[in-house]
Amino acid sequence: MRSVLIVPTYNEAANIEKFLTQVRTDAPDTDILVVDDNSPDQTARIAETLAAKLGSIKVLNRTSQRGYAAASREAMLKAMESGYDVIATMDADFSHDPKVLTKLISLVDSETALVIGSRYVPGGGVTNWSLFRRVLSKWGNLYTAFCLRLKIKDCTSGFRAYSAASLKNIDLANLTADGYAFLSEMAFVISRKKLGSIVESPIVYVDRAFGESKMNTRIMRESMVLVTRWGFALRTGSGRKYLPR
């Protein structure tokens, strides 16, 4: 099966060269699509230089509708147009281990719509996080799974692999989330539309060593509001127009 890795970036100049080199070593058969939101630190330029050197890397420069969700949607649509069978996503800051990528991709089959690199199944975990951040993440995932009736432990991990066949049944252009709530929204849609099974495979998440986290209170607030709204509509039937399709 042909596979591609989507890597949304913004100001990852400190990481991108080492990251792309490592992915090309650890997953030589997987193409890479870097989706950059016009980073002022020249992330895209560095990636383009590496693309010419390493091969099988493309760089998509975006200048409008910035954000993780918009970048992911646009890249997924391009990947499907290019005929890939498996579409993976991960961060460029080494919080996700490139050595695990091939395993996640290999778990996608005709019955599996989504494989999530999970921090909260046996064998998974996080490092370099404060107790507060651990509790906040675990509580957020429990709340999301409860509201959306998802039988998974890690709804918000961005290290994942999708079946392209399942994505073709999702109206990506009209999903609701702008930020990282997109990850929960995708799992919700796949589950609700019964597009295939969702499998979790353990990963150890390592907090970034270089650069700045993109997480902020606005993104967390959006996630809380959307998940609560979807959960309410799912249970009451009221406001079903807000449910993603």
Tokens linked to 227? 């998940």
What pLDDT does 174 receive? Answer: 86
Q: 97 falls in which pLDDT band (50, 70, 90)?
A: very high
What DSSP assignment string belongs to 105-141? HHT--TTEEEEEEESSSTT-EEES--HHHHHHHHHHH
Q: Which of 80, 96, 112 is nearest to 7 (CA)?
A: 96
**113-124 average pLDDT score:** 98
What pLDDT digit, counting tens, does each position of 35-69 carry? 999 999 999 999 999 999 999 999 999 987 678 99
Phi, psi of 185 (to 5 degrees): -60, -40
What pLDDT does 115 receive? Answer: 99
Please, how many CA atoms are within 13 Å of residue 202, restricted to the half-sphere of its CB?
8
Domains of the chain from N-terminus onward: 3-242 (3.90.550.10)
Buried b (16+ CB within 10 A) or exposed e, 38-67: ebeeebbebbbebbeeeeebbbbebeeeeb
What pLDDT does 181 receive? Answer: 93
Q: What is the pTM of this model?
A: 0.92
**85-112 average pLDDT score:** 97
What pLDDT digit, counting tens, does each position of 165-197 carry? 999 999 998 898 988 899 999 999 999 999 999
CB 84 within 8 A of CB 2: yes
Q: Which of 124, 113, 141, 121 is nearest to 198 (CA)?
A: 113
**150-163 average pLDDT score:** 97
> In terms of pLDDT, which residue wins out, 217 or 128?
128
